Amino acid sequence: MVTAFILFFVCLWRLVDVTDGVKSVSVMEGDSVTLNIDVTESQKYLLIHWAFGSTRIAEVSRLTQTNSTYGGPDERFRDRLKLDLTGSLTITNTRTTDSGLYRVTIISKETSYTSYNVKVCETPQSTSSPERSSNSNFLVNNSTIIQTEDANMTELHQPSSDHIHCCGLIEAVIRLVASALVGVAAVAFLVYDIRSTLRSELNRMEETRHHRVKLEQYEMSRRFSSRYVC
């Protein structure tokens, strides 16, 4: 309701938009910075509206006699914004996350817009703060742990000299047994061949003897028959 009344009242003033350029502001991290507005315009204002990006962070209304600040995105500005009597905005204990574009809208007889490009620079102390040092130490220690784990894994995968010696001994035994088996097989084959040759020779001699006996019997029978025939 109040906003609608303000807009109606503003329309009656036949407002004309006036846009100023972008002002650049730099501040060291941890310091305070004040974004000043035109005092002449602020003396006649109906409403002063501050925004960080597209988010409202502060507002002053003459009609409702209110002066308010807000936390902004992610409540990053909580308890760190101040508005003075002219409507200028002060940011205390600045952080690097405060860097960005701030825009103030002043609604009076003419509506004016002013933008501020704020850059919060890190201090040398912040780069070597205990938190950063602890993070750095954590990274170093973590790297050491990883390298130690890699070395342990390498040692696990690399066979020891005892293991190599054991494997070499087993391989030598296997080769010796294989050689012995081959030798035994060769001897067995040689014995089998000799026995086969002897068996064949004995069979041949037996057949020869049997044939000779038959021949002698035949010769004796023929002589005996011829004797009686005469």
Q: How many C-beta atoms lie closer than 10 Å to residue 38's C-beta?
A: 17
| Alpha-helix residue ranges (DSSP H) falling in 17-129 | 39-43, 124-127
Return the minimum-mean-pLDDT range out of 36-50, 57-71, 90-104: 36-50
Q: How many C-beta atoms lie closer than 10 Å to residue 24's C-beta?
A: 10
- Considering only CA atoms, which of 79, 87, 84 is closest in space to residue 104? 87
Helix (H) or strand (E) holding 132: helix 130-157
Q: How confident is the model at residue 131 (pLDDT cuts 50, 70, 90)?
A: low
pLDDT computed for residue 128 by the predictor: 53
Look at 172 and 85; give whichever has higher pLDDT: 85
Asked whether residue 205 carries a pLDDT value surpassing 60, the answer given is: yes
- In angstroms, the CA 29 to CA 124 distance is 10
pLDDT computed for residue 38 by the predictor: 76
Q: How confident is the model at residue 21 (pLDDT cuts 50, 70, 90)?
A: confident
Contact 113, 105 (CB under 8 A): yes
Average pLDDT over residues 176-180: 69
> In angstroms, how far is the first alpha carbon of the chain from the final one?
173
- ∠ CA(116), CA(117), CA(122), 5° rounding? 130
pTM score above 0.85: no
User: Phi and psi dihedrals of 226, rounded to 5?
Assistant: -65, -30
